[in-house]
Amino acid sequence: MSTVPAYAAPSARAPLAPFTVDRRDPGPLDVAIDIVFCGVCHSDVHQARDEWGGSIFPMVPGHEIVGRVSRVGARVAEVKVGDLVGVGCLVDSCRECGQCRRDREQFCQRGPALTYNGTELDRKTPTYGGYSTQVVVTEKFVLRVPAGLDPAAAAPLLCAGITTYSPLRQWGCKAGDHVGVVGLGGLGHMAVKLASSMGAEVTMLSTSPAKEADARRLGAHGFASTRDDGIFKRLAGRFDLLVDTVSVPHDYNKYLGLLRPEGAMVLVGAPPEPSPFSSFALIMGNKRLAGSLIGGIAETQEMLDYCGAHRITADIEVIPIQKINEAYERMLKSDVRYRFVIDTASLKGA
Ligand code: NAP
Ligand code: ZN
Ligand code: ZN
């Protein structure tokens, strides 16, 4: 076992502060990783502040991990010491149930082991995430980061990337489709990059008019300020697919009006509070309202390989861990362009 530096939320109301975690010695199938960068996801904020309920404290958040392999167990087959690898939201699952067998480990019927705010499969040992210098993960849940991608800018692919890639694939996003992305933050900016790389005509729907130039640079063809109610008339019936990444409650009915008949709106943003919606918003036009949770391990690797081939990474602001509480406050003000990434060198001696 090794004891390594980390940052933890001691409780829902306290700021994150220095902490240490014990990482197990790698077993025969385990990979020990020296974490180099870890992205900061809005889900880290929701969970560190117990906004979804059931949070486990102390909590070391972080599920957008990129690092170098430092040790491998005797039966590890594919990964070698020195490889650049990633770890996302999952660190294990039963591998036997129907969902695991169809590569949907996020829906493991016995419950997957989440990277943090969860437990290992023994259902006892707490898991601690990437706001630390090392992690030990079973090989099957270790992803390969394609050569040629900047390691810091690739970290957000492990959650923001897969969470937006998966619904685009599930709804068959293709050239000429009209795709609307709601909310230009970490997930939203990846959705814009990915959908436009697939040939879609992308419109950014944002509460922040100041982000228009960025949205266009990221690949959006159009931009609409959702503070202007007129856009809900002007763009009515336009979209084949809406990907909604907003982290706070908002009126889904209005956005459903933007879909063409049989169009779909996929929620990936996870506001803690429920929002009412009218059945008529769906009935009029056979519309679909759906949700999507990250992606399985095979799909996450597929996304990373796709991003490697298309040279897609996140737009990031690298921060030392000591700025994490400030970064959370800035995310809450929609002031992130477009993902904070922790340089874990700042943890050494923290
Ligand atoms: P983020 O970087 O904070 O981006 C959220 C964006 O939502 C903001 O940049 C802002 O965009 C918009 N927004 C914020 N406040 C708003 C308000 N009051 N009204 C309207 N829009 C507002 O967060 P993120 O990391 O992308 O995560 C977004 C959500 O997805 C979170 O709820 C997170 O927990 C969830 N999530 C879900 C999954 C999944 O598997 N489904 C995975 C990861 C994250 P504009 O300035 O453009 O309006
Ligand atoms: Zn996340
Ligand atoms: Zn399972």
Reading the block at residue 20, the tokens are 């240490």
Domains 2-159+295-349 and 161-291 share a fold: no
245, 250, 275: which to mutate for ligand 1, most atoms within 8 A of CB? 245
Minimum-distance ligand 1 atom for the alpha carbon of 332:
3
40, 117, 182, 187: which to mutate for ligand 1, most atoms within 8 A of CB? 187
Identify the band that residue 330 occupies on the pLDDT scale cut at 50, 70 and 90: very high
How far does residue 114's CA lie from ligand 3's centre (Å)?
A: 13
Identify the band that residue 230 occupies on the pLDDT scale cut at 50, 70 and 90: very high
What's the start-to-end Cα distance of the chain, in Å? 20
How far does residue 235's CA lie from ligand 1's centre (Å)?
A: 22
Ligand 1 binding pocket, CB closer than 6 Å: 41-43, 46, 159-160, 163, 183-188, 206-208, 211, 245-248, 250, 268-270, 292-294, 331, 334, 336
Query: What does residue 54 show for φ and ψ, rounded to 5 degrees?
Result: 75, 15
Give the CA-trace dihedral at 239, 244, 250, 251, to 10 degrees: 30
pLDDT score for 129: 98
Residue 349 has pLDDT above 80, yes or no: no
Residues 311, 246: Cα–Cα separation, whole Å: 26
Q: Are 156 and 64 contacting, i.e. CB atoms less than 8 angstroms apart?
A: yes
* pLDDT (tens digit per residue) in 132-151: 999 999 999 999 999 999 99
Minimum-distance ligand 1 atom for the alpha carbon of 336:
2
Residue 2 has pLDDT above 70, yes or no: yes
Element holding 301 (H helix, E strand):
helix 297-310
- The residues, ordered by sequence, that sit 6+ positions from 323 with a Cβ below 8 Å of its Cβ are none
Residues 18, 193: Cα–Cα separation, whole Å: 35
* pLDDT (tens digit per residue) in 171-198: 999 999 999 999 999 999 999 999 999 9
Residues 141, 189: Cα–Cα separation, whole Å: 25
* pLDDT (tens digit per residue) in 21-77: 999 999 999 999 999 999 999 999 999 999 999 999 999 999 999 999 999 999 999
* pLDDT (tens digit per residue) in 243-275: 999 999 999 999 999 999 999 999 999 999 999
pLDDT score for 64: 99
How far does residue 324's CA lie from ligand 2's centre (Å)?
A: 15
- The residues, ordered by sequence, that sit 6+ positions from 79 with a Cβ below 8 Å of its Cβ are 31, 69, 72, 85, 139, 142, 144
Q: Identify residue 263 by its one-letter amino acid code.
A: G
Beta strands across the sheet bearing 178-182: 222-225, 201-206, 178-182, 239-244, 259-267, 288-291
Element holding 250 (H helix, E strand):
none
* pLDDT (tens digit per residue) in 148-167: 999 999 999 999 999 999 99
Q: What percent of the chain has pLDDT over 90?
A: 99
Residue 119 has pLDDT above 70, yes or no: yes
Q: Whose CA is nearest to atom 10 of ligand 1?
A: 183
How far does residue 15's CA lie from ligand 1's centre (Å)?
A: 21
pTM of the complete model: 0.98
Cα separation values, 160 from 18, 95, 127, 337, 342, Å: 26, 24, 20, 13, 15
Report the candidate in 182, 189, 177, 249 with the shortest Cα–Cα distance to residue 219. 189
The residue-averaged pLDDT of 225-230 equals: 98
Pick the CATH number of 2-159+295-349 from 3.90.180.10, 3.20.20.150, 1.20.1070.10, 1.10.287.110: 3.90.180.10
Cα separation values, 96 from 87, 114, 120, 234, Å: 21, 17, 16, 50
Identify the band that residue 350 occupies on the pLDDT scale cut at 50, 70 and 90: low
How do strand 134-138 and strand 201-206 relate by DSSP bridges? unpaired
Domain ranges of the chain: 2-159+295-349, 161-291
> Which-ligand-closest: CA of 46?
1
Question: What architecture is the 161-291 domain classified under in CATH?
Answer: 3-Layer(aba) Sandwich (3.40)
Mean pLDDT across the chain, nearest whole number? 98
Q: What percent of the chain has pLDDT over 70?
A: 99
